[in-house]
Structures are given as C-alpha cells and as structure tokens.
Chain A
Amino acid sequence: MPLSRRSLLGVTGAVAASSLLPRPARSASLAKIRIGLLLPYSGTYAALGHNITDAMKLAAHEHGDKLGGREIEWVAVDDESDPAKAPANVNKLVVGEKVDILTGPVHSGVAMAMMQIVREEQTLTLVTNAGAQAVTGALCAPHVFRTSFSNWQTSYPCADVMLKAGHKKVALVFWNYGFGQESMAAFKEGFLKGGGAIVKEFPVPFPSTEFQANLSELASLKPDAVFVFFAGAGAAKFVKDYAAAGLREKIPLYGSGFLTEGVLAAQGPAAEGIQTTLHYAEALPSAANKKFREAFKKATTREADVYAVAGYDTVNLLSVALGKVKGDTAARKELIAALETARIESPRGPFRFSRAHNPVQDIYLREVKGGQQRVVSVALKDAEDPAVGCALVK
C-alpha cells in the first residue's frame, strides 16, 4: 500500500502528540491485566488450543472476569504448533505486547523455544499443556510454572500397573519423536526397576500411520503385553489396526492416556479393554469435576477434556495468587510465592506444585469399557516428576 505524505505526516504527528500526553500512571488496580495466550488455533492441535482457551475464559468468567481486582485483557497468538515460528510468536507477546503473564503452549517444541525467551525476559509463565521434561527439568525457572503434566508422569506409573497385572515381557511401540521417546524412557525406568524385561522396541517414524509391519512382528514375538505412545489420528489408527489384526484379545494394550484421549469415539469397539494412565479422567466422580464439565459443556457445547482442565486450573491458580497480591504483578516475589502455595479445587483432584513447579498429582488408571473411559484406580498417588537437571530442586 503506498503511503501518502499526508497520512505519513498525520501518523507521525499523532505519535509525537501522544508521547507528549501524560502517561496513565501504571496503577496496578486500574490497568487491565494482560494475559498472553500462545496456543494453536490452526493445524493438528487446533482443537486443543480452543479447548484450553475456552476453559481459561470460563474460569475467568466464574471470577467475574477479573483477576486480583483487575479486568483481563487476553492477547492471543496462533502458534500453529510450529517450533520454527515459536521465537517470533513468543517475542510478539513478550516484547511486542508486553503481556504481564504468558500462558501456553500445546506443542513441546514450541515450549522449548518459549523457555529460552521467557528465561531471558523473566516473563511470568504458566505452561498449559506441553509435557517436555526440560520445562520443569534442565530449563526450569522460578517464574515458570506448569499446570498440566510432565511426560514422565503419564508413562512411569503404567510400568507398575503392568507388573502388578503379571506382565513381565513387554514390547514398546511409539512415535519416534521427543514426546514418544520421553514417554518410553520414563516407562522403561519404572519397568526395568520393577524386574520386567523389554522384548523389543518399535520406533515408528512420526507421523507415519502404517503399522502392519510392526503388528505382524508383534504377533510373532508374543509379548505379555504392549505399551505404546500415540496421539490423535495416529492413536485412532493404531488401536483400530491392533484390534483388526486380532491382537486385542491376545496381547493386552497399555499406553499413556493420550492413546484414547479425544479419539475414543473414532476407535469405537476396537478400544475396548485398553488401559491407560493419566492425571485426569472424564469419569472422575468428584463434585469439582462434575461442576466443571457441566459448565464447560454449557459454555461451548463441547465435552471438556484433559486439555481444558489445564486451562481452567491455570486461571483459577492465577485468581488465587493475584488475589493475594491484590493484582499487583510488580510484586513478583510475593506473586510467585502465592502461586507456589496456591490450592484450588481442580477437576483432576487436589494437586500442589513441586519445587520444580510441576504439579504433584495423582495419576489414574483408566480402562475403556462399553465405549466409556472408566476410572479403575489411582495408579500412583502424588506422582512427582524427578525434575532431572532442575536447579530449583537442589
């Protein structure tokens, strides 16, 4: 667009004039609190981004759209789950928009890029999904909290579950990228410690969904059970292929909860009997969970899921902590201390933050029965991520 001299003059004039005006005093009680949302609104994880956002807004609404007495201004950026664009997107929120608090993302690769920047810029950050170990491990920081889970938490407890069920020789099938590898490492840690043996590992290139070759080999190996990591469309196809190959009745299938999360309807009867471990289950009977699920459904007409829970809890935690400091985000030390000790009624059940700022939470064993996710038991009480390499834990 060609810029005419007149409009250019107009703009510069306006800018110059505005800089002469007295700036509104940065009074914490009056200015809106700016919360950045670094989430995917397009691409593979768009549904997750929308659920997290809607749950955050639902929680805010329940607090009268105010946090610590200040009105909220949401600043959303579509991160497209693209790690390559993450530095630019994070800078847009942190440096450009100068958000008071940054939340997100879904994708672990985006989270890694985000960590580099928020560690430099010292932005108060709440990670709402990405489970990469490093966020509360090697890259942990006093001003970074995670309200969701670490990959370790979703897989390590399953080892014990399988050993208790008498499965000693187990094969692993997983998408061969960060999340899958961390998930398998955590499972192996627990499984080998408990005296189990890994028969064979099948790394499947991400995002391939051709499993026949691996299934034929699995059938010939006949392990006691199989532990897998897949999510989304890959999880739907793996579970269907596994059942169609006749393996479902013969070799029990286990996985981290993402194997059935959001794709249970697509998997249909093929998912019957699959046991998974996760820090949340739709069927949790607590009043907090029921209230949350009803409110979310009413607000969005969609069913709430594990991703929405993290978004909901994020804003509820902020509400408690900001309430304590009366909305003064400049009081960093007090605000961080308030977050560390904040307790909320989470749909997932009670949790607290570890010294590395990852939730210490119960991990549930869930089983698919009659097309529904049932809660079998608590697989690991107060599961605490080992936070390997985190300087806060020493």
Chain B
Amino acid sequence: MTLSLVALQLLNGVEQGLLLFLVASGLTLVFGVLGVLNFAHGSFYMLGAYLAFWLAERTGSLLFAVLLGVPLMLLFGFLVERLAVARLYQRDHLSQVLLTYGLVLLFNELSRLLFGNDVHPVATPALLSGSFKLGEVQSWPAYRLFTSLSCLVIALLLRYVILGTRFGMRLRAGASNAEMLEVLGVDVRKLFARVFSAGVALAALAGMLAAPLTTVYPGMGESVLVISFVVVVIGGIGSVRGAFFGALLVGIADTFGKVLVPSVSSAVVYAVMAAVLIWRPRGLFGAPAEAR
C-alpha cells in the first residue's frame, strides 16, 4: 500500500468516524445523564432520514428539510421523554430496554406503513453535488466533505455547550449526582427532558445528513445503533469527548480492517473494543468507579 493510499484510507476512516460521532454523542449523553439505555436511538436516526426524505421532496431542498426537521425532532424527543421514558427513571435497565425496543418495532412498522418497503433516494443538494479529484482515478464527493465538516462543527458546539454554559454545567452535575442537583433546587425533570430531546435531535440530524449517502429504508437504524453502542463503550459511557475519539477510532479501525483483513473485517471493530476494555475497563474517557 502506498503512502498516498494510506492517507486516503485514513481520510475514509475519519469521515466514517465523524458521522458516527454524531449518532453516538446523543446516545452517550442520554445514558450518561439520564441513565437510560436507549435502544430506540437508531430509530431516531432512521426517523431523521425519513423526515429528510419527506421534507426534501416537499420543500425541494435538503437545507430546508434540516431546518424544519431538527426542531420537529426536538419536539418529538420531548414528547417521547414526557410520555414514555420519564416513567422509567426509577426502574432497572431491563424495563428501559423493553420500552425502547418496543419503540424500535413501532417506528419500523410505522415507516413501513407510511413509506413502504422501498429504498428511497434523497437528492444531494445541487451546491454540493460536485467532487474533488483524489489520485488519478478516485474522486471525493463534496457532500462527504460537507458532512464531515458539519460533524466537526457540531462537535465543537457540543464541547462549548457542555463546558462553557450554565446548561452544560447542570448537565455535568446531573450526570455525576442527579439527586444532589435536585436538592440544590434545579428542576431535574426539565433538565432530563431537554437532554433526551437533544439526544433525539442529534441522532435525527445524523440521519438527515447521511440520507443522501445511504438512501432511506426501513430498519436502517439497527446497524447504526449497534456500532454506536460500541463507540459509547470504547469512549467511556457518558463521555461526549470519549464518543468523539471512540468514533474516530472505530471509523479508522473499520476502514483499515476492510483493507488489511477483508475476510474478518466485521470482527475488527469488536476486537478493538475488547482491547480498549482490557486496557481501560471503563473506556477511554470513562469516569473511575468511585466518581459515580
């Protein structure tokens, strides 16, 4: 493998990782702050993609679809939290898994009923339909670069919100001790609802951005969910920074796994996860046991 090909594959891996981060960040936030194991996270990714497909067809633009779709999904996430998830904070993880898995089945069937089993295309915005030449044969679609940059911007925004704002401070406090936060007079219910709907919106946004690349079809969230859990575990449960580096690691490992050991490439990501867990049992940026 030449050096330029290595660089290109690295780029492929980073690009894959950045989009993965967007999905995994919401999952890790919800688990870290609310303590809820959200199996429906992949479904919110799928709903985002379907919403992008549906709105883009009506408004004629993916940009409008995202601008309309994200607030809609924020609201939707809020409703799901208030009506369903909020009832489970005192319950064990099994009840949460049952509820959120039930939501997965519900959303999958709904998408089938509304849009059928077909694979639907979402047009790439005209402005971003060009491509750059990389090497003498391959090109790099401008839209992929755009999604990567968007993910980076969102990562930086998330970092600012978590570390630099009052909401972020409460969020961190809620993650380490929600009861104490409540005693101090913070409305934890409201905080939780906001965090959950933010998580839903992040997953949906990832689905919207990915829609032109992946096309839209029922059940598309499942594989994304599994790999997002891997990212969250590698990065350390509840750590957004961990999700970022975990996602990059998974993206790069998956890419080079496909290149170097194609016949067992599906196992590479899990081998990396096992290795990280042996080295750091709580993930790359997981809080040590006594802090929880």
Taking a contact as CB atoms closer than 8 A, the residue among B119, B137, B219 that contacts A263 in the complex is B119
Q: Give B56 Cβ to nearest chain A Cβ, in Å.
A: 14
Q: Give B207 Cβ to nearest chain A Cβ, in Å.
A: 14
* Chain B hits for A203, CB < 8 A: 262-263, 265
- In the complex, the chain B residue whose C-beta lies closest to that of A43 is B219
Q: How far is the CA of A237 from the CA of B2 in the complex (A)?
A: 27
CB of A127 closer than 8 Å to a CB of B: no
Given A207-B223, A246-B139, also A217-B259 (CB < 8 A): yes
| Per-residue contact bits, chain A 234-277, to B (CB 8 Å; 1 contact, 0 not) | 00110011001111001100000000001101111000000000
- In the complex, the chain A residue whose C-beta lies closest to that of B263 is A203
* Chain B hits for A220, CB < 8 A: 2, 5, 135, 137-138
* Chain A hits for B144, CB < 8 A: 244
The number of residues on chain B lying at the interface, defined by a beta carbon within 8 Å of a beta carbon of chain A, is: 42
Q: How far is the CA of A208 from the CA of B220 in the complex (A)?
A: 11
Q: How far is the CA of A214 from the CA of B15 in the complex (A)?
A: 14
Taking a contact as CB atoms closer than 8 A, the residue among B5, B118, B137 that contacts A250 in the complex is B137
CB of A205 closer than 8 Å to a CB of B: yes
Q: How far is the CA of A251 from the CA of B119 in the complex (A)?
A: 25
B137 touching A212 by the CB < 8 A rule? no
Number of residue pairs spanning A and B whose beta carbons lie under 8 angstroms apart: 109
Q: How far is the CA of A246 from the CA of B131 in the complex (A)?
A: 8
Q: Give B38 Cβ to nearest chain A Cβ, in Å.
A: 22
B215 touching A236 by the CB < 8 A rule? yes
Given A203-B262, A219-B137, A219-B138, also A47-B116 (CB < 8 A): yes
A215 touching B138 by the CB < 8 A rule? yes
Q: Give A152 Cβ to nearest chain B Cβ, in Å.
A: 23
CB of B196 closer than 8 Å to a CB of A: no
A222 touching B215 by the CB < 8 A rule? no
B:204-224 near A, CB below 8 Å: 213-215, 217-220, 223
* Chain A hits for B140, CB < 8 A: 245
The interface stretch among B58-66, B159-167, B228-236, B250-258 is: B250-258
Q: How far is the CA of A207 from the CA of B133 in the complex (A)?
A: 29
The number of residues on chain A lying at the interface, defined by a beta carbon within 8 Å of a beta carbon of chain B, is: 42
A:164-216 near B, CB below 8 Å: 176, 201-205, 207-210, 212-216
Q: Give B215 Cβ to nearest chain A Cβ, in Å.
A: 5
CB of A139 closer than 8 Å to a CB of B: no
Taking a contact as CB atoms closer than 8 A, the residue among A43, A205, A216 that contacts B138 in the complex is A216
- Which of B5, B12, B144, B223 gathers most chain A CB within 10 Å? B12
B217 touching A233 by the CB < 8 A rule? yes
Given A47-B116, A216-B8, also A247-B223 (CB < 8 A): no
CB of B147 closer than 8 Å to a CB of A: no
* Chain B hits for A247, CB < 8 A: 137-138
- In the complex, the chain B residue whose C-beta lies closest to that of A244 is B141
* Chain B hits for A265, CB < 8 A: 118, 121
* Chain A hits for B135, CB < 8 A: 219-220
Taking a contact as CB atoms closer than 8 A, the residue among B16, B120, B141, B223 that contacts A245 in the complex is B141
CB of A44 closer than 8 Å to a CB of B: yes
* Chain B hits for A43, CB < 8 A: 219
- In the complex, the chain B residue whose C-beta lies closest to that of A220 is B5
- Which of B215, B220, B223 gathers most chain A CB within 10 Å? B215
Interchain Cβ contacts under 8 Å between A and B, 20 examples: A42-B112, A201-B262, A212-B12, A212-B255, A213-B259, A216-B5, A216-B8, A216-B9, A217-B9, A219-B138, A220-B135, A232-B217, A233-B119, A244-B141, A245-B140, A246-B133, A246-B137, A263-B119, A266-B118, A266-B121
